[in-house]
Amino acid sequence: MERWEILGIRQMAATDEDAEEFTGVLLVHRPGSAEPLEPVAVSARRSVLAEVQEYLARLLRRSRGRRG
């Protein structure tokens, strides 16, 4: 399986506030690649974004993170 690192999200938007689908661009990088990043056009349904939000919130609550 190829490994990618997510560097950012750009232009994630919908056409209206009642939208069920959002489109945007993920900025990704393949570790070890000479290319600094690759933009990838993506679309996601509201239900998927809500699931990702819940998962990431749970992950971040359990993670200590670095405090500097």
Q: What is the mean pLDDT of residues 30-56?
A: 92
Q: What is the mean pLDDT of the chain?
A: 89
Domain boundaries, the chain: 5-62
Q: What is the mean pLDDT of residues 24-50?
A: 92
Tell me what pLDDT residue 41 has: 96
**pTM recorded for the entire structure:** 0.73
With 70 as the cut, is the pLDDT of residue 42 above it? yes
Tell me what pLDDT residue 67 has: 58
What is the DSSP pairing of strand 38-45 with strand 5-13?
Answer: unpaired
Cβ–Cβ < 8 Å for 20, 45:
yes
Paired with 34 in beta bridges are none
